[in-house]
Amino acid sequence: MSPDEMRARLAELTTEADELRAFADAVERGDHDDEQSIAAAVARLLPIPEPKKGFFGGTKGKSRQEQERERIDLVRRAQRSTLILHALNRVNKEIYPEIHELKFKLATL
């Protein structure tokens, strides 16, 4: 590989790493939430148990709606974490090693 090709590849990899980091930031903000997938994952969870009756007849604990919101938030956080993990793993395990190798080769020419 010629030095010009190495520089071009280095620029491509740097751009891709920046794009993946921007994607991870957008996922963390919620820009890439897939609401249909989240709803499907929540539907596959075990049913919400009936609220327990308290000593004086009232229910104790969280309402069904609160529990449902918690489940949705849990699934949403899990999906976001997975997307972020995939993006950052690609950057750290595939792109950065190649960037470092190309920089080393260019420095030794």
What is the SS3 assignment for 78?
Answer: helix
Residues 56-108 pLDDT 10s: 655 566 777 888 899 899 999 999 999 999 999 999 999 999 999 999 999 99
Residue 52 is predicted with a pLDDT of: 67
Q: Where are the domains of the chain?
A: 3-46+63-107
> What is the spatial distance between Cα 10 and Cα 1, in angstroms, rounded to a whole number?
12
> Rounded to an integer, what distance in angstroms lies between the CA atom of residue 29 and that of residue 68?
21
With contact defined as beta carbons under 8 Å apart, do 32 and 26 qualify? yes
Which two tokens mark 18?
């920046």
pTM above 0.85, yes or no: no
